[in-house]
């Protein structure tokens, strides 16, 4: 019995070894097939995922670029609006300054100026006075206005603005005292009753004793000629006369 059993054991052992080897080979082959089968979809899936991520990043990058581009456009538009606003404001300021300069250059009535024409206006001296007509007094002298702050046009001289020698006098002390501050080139404006303004420019100034006043010169020198008292008081008059000669511009 042991002898037979030993023989059976000897015969069975090689068979089992072969069987086990076959099973191992089949197992390895099956494992290789399964591994290959599994590896292919995994590789494809990774590639697909990589493609999806790349596409998503591209979309995000495009969206960010569009946002940046829109922001830059908006910023450029705002800068352009600010530039135009600044230019418009500058133009408005320039126009305002120009208008102010025009207004300041134009003779303007000052306090104490009677709006009734005719009037005399000297911007640099602050004189703006209405002009009334005066003639000769009973003793043959050129009359003066009764109001200290009125000027008198002598009706024996050329009409105001006519082109001849127009003579206007006034009081000092009084409204005409300020003509002593005029200089060569000072502009004098006469507003006519017609509404027209005539400009004159100072060409000569004299301050002479009363006895030496040359009335012929005053009444014949073409333009607008002004006279007022100066010097020291002597009785009811003054020792000198301040005379301004001006030519029409």
Structure confidence by residue, pLDDT tens digits, 224-235: 999 999 999 999
Residue 215 banded pLDDT, cuts 50, 70, 90: very high
243 and 129, same domain (yes or no):
yes
Q: Where would I find the beta strands (DSSP E) of the chain?
A: 119-122, 127-134, 151-154, 165-169, 187-191, 197-209, 223-234, 237-248
48 and 162, same domain (yes or no):
no
In a domain, 113, yes or no: no
CA 102 from centroid of its chain's CA atoms: 16
Domain hosting residue 167, numbered range: 119-248
Question: For residues 189 and 122, what is the distance between their CA atoms, to the nearest angstrom?
Answer: 6
Structure confidence by residue, pLDDT tens digits, 114-152: 557 899 999 888 899 999 999 999 988 999 999 999 999
CATH number of the domain within which 168 lies: 2.40.260.10
Structure confidence by residue, pLDDT tens digits, 64-112: 667 667 777 777 788 788 888 877 777 666 655 544 444 444 444 444 4
- For the whole model, what pTM was predicted? 0.55
235 and 123, same domain (yes or no):
yes
128 and 151, same domain (yes or no):
yes
In a domain, 199, yes or no: yes
Q: What average pLDDT does the segment 177-183 reach?
A: 94
148 and 172, same domain (yes or no):
yes
Structure confidence by residue, pLDDT tens digits, 14-73: 555 555 555 565 555 555 555 555 555 544 455 554 555 566 556 656 666 676 677 777
Residue 180 banded pLDDT, cuts 50, 70, 90: very high
Q: In a 3-state reduction of DSSP, which class is residue 123?
A: helix
175 and 63, same domain (yes or no):
no
Question: For residues 147 and 171, what is the distance between their CA atoms, to the nearest angstrom?
Answer: 8
Handedness of CA 213, 218, 219, 225 (dihedral sign): negative
Q: How many domains does the chain have?
A: 2
Cis before 246 (ω within 30): no
226 and 187, same domain (yes or no):
yes
């Amino acid at each position: 019995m042991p002898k037979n059993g030993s023989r059976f054991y000897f015969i069975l052992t090689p068979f089992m070894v072969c069987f086990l080897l076959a099973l191992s080979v089949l197992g390895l082959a099956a494992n290789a097939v399964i591994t290959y089968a599994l590896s292919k979809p995994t590789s494809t899936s990774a590639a697909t995922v990589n493609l999806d991520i790349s596409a998503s990043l591209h979309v995000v990058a495009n969206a960010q670029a569009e946002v940046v581009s829109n922001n830059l456009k908006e910023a450029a538009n705002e800068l352009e609006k600010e530039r135009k606003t600044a230019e418009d404001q500058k133009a408005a300021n320039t126009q305002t300054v120009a208008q102010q300069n025009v207004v300041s250059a134009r003779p303007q009535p000052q306090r104490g100026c009677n709006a009734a024409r005719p009037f005399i206006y000297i911007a640099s001296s602050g004189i703006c006075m209405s002009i009334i007509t005066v003639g000769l007094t009973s003793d043959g002298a050129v009359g003066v206005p009764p109001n200290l702050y009125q000027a008198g046009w002598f009706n024996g001289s050329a009409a105001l603005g006519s082109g001849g020698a127009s003579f206007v006098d006034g009081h000092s002390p009084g409204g005409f005292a300020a003509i002593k501050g005029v200089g060569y080139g000072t502009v004098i404006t006469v507003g006519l009753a017609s509404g027209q303004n005539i400009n004159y420019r100072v060409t000569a100034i004299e301050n002479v004793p009363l006895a030496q006043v040359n009335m012929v010169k005053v009444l014949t020198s073409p333009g607008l000629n002004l006279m007022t008292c100066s010097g020291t008081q002597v009785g009811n008059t003054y020792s000198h006369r301040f005379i301004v000669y001006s030519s029409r511009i």
